[in-house]
């Protein structure tokens, strides 16, 4: 949790496994941990989720009701800073912009994205990752 001038922000960074069932359990773990914090606090979840917005792990964050600790919790919990058509974030070091959108910036709790973008820049002509970086600012 970040604190600045009395303002608090929860920030979660994650990297999900490739397996869909593990992704779903990872999403539930994050939600269980966040359930222990005040729900009115703004929160951002960022990372490589290794799954698209149509996946169960994305839907559990953004649109599906979920059961945690034996009780139903009504979603949606978070919004994705990007919307359809979702931009490519994975390119496999090629720079191809037709890949999947598997990296997300999710948010909740009274913050609103001012802008968000996928950064396609290279560093001295080289892609430093097989994923394009994402950038968002909130107010």
Comparing CA positions, the residue from 27, 79, 81 lying closest to residue 49 is 27
Rounded mean pLDDT of 108-112?
92
Q: Would you state the pLDDT for residue 77?
A: 85
- Range of lowest pLDDT (63-72, 76-85, 112-121): 63-72
Q: pTM for this one?
A: 0.88
What DSSP string describes 5-35?
TTEEEEEEEEE--SSHHHHHHHHHHHHHHHH
Answer whether 77's CB lies under 8 Å from 68's CB. no
Q: Which two tokens stand for residue 106?
A: 């999710």
CATH superfamily of the 2-138 domain? Endonuclease/exonuclease/phosphatase (3.60.10.10)
Please report, for the chain, the start and end positions of each structural domain, with discontinuous segments joined by +: 2-138
CA angle 59-62-65, nearest 5°? Answer: 70
What's the mean pLDDT in 114-122? 96
Average pLDDT (103-115) is 94
Structure letter (DSSP) for residue 86:
P
Cis amide leading into 117 (omega within 30): no
Is it the case that residue 113 has pLDDT exceeding 80? yes
Pairing of strands 7-15, 43-48: parallel
What is the pLDDT at residue 69?
60
Tokens representing 102 are 């598997």
Express each pLDDT in 119-139 by its tens digit: 999 999 999 999 999 999 999
pLDDT at residue 76 tops 70:
no
Model pLDDT for residues 4-52, shown as the tens digit of each residue: 778 899 999 999 999 999 999 999 899 889 988 888 899 999 999 999 9
Most confident of 67-71, 81-85, 127-131: 127-131
């Amino acid at each position: 949790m970040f604190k600045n001038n009395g303002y608090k922000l929860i920030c979660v960074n994650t990297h999900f496994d490739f397996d869909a069932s593990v992704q779903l359990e990872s999403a539930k773990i994050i939600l269980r941990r966040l359930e222990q914090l005040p729900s009115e606090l703004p929160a951002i979840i960022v990372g490589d989720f290794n799954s698209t917005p149509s996946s169960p792990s994305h839907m559990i964050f953004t649109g599906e009701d979920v059961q945690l600790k034996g009780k139903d919790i009504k979603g949606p919990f978070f919004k994705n800073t990007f919307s359809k058509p979702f931009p490519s974030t994975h390119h496999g070091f090629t720079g191809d912009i037709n890949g999947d959108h598997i990296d997300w910036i999710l948010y909740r709790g009274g913050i609103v994205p001012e802008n968000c973008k996928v950064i396609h820049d290279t560093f001295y002509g080289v892609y430093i990752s097989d994923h394009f970086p994402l950038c968002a600012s909130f107010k």
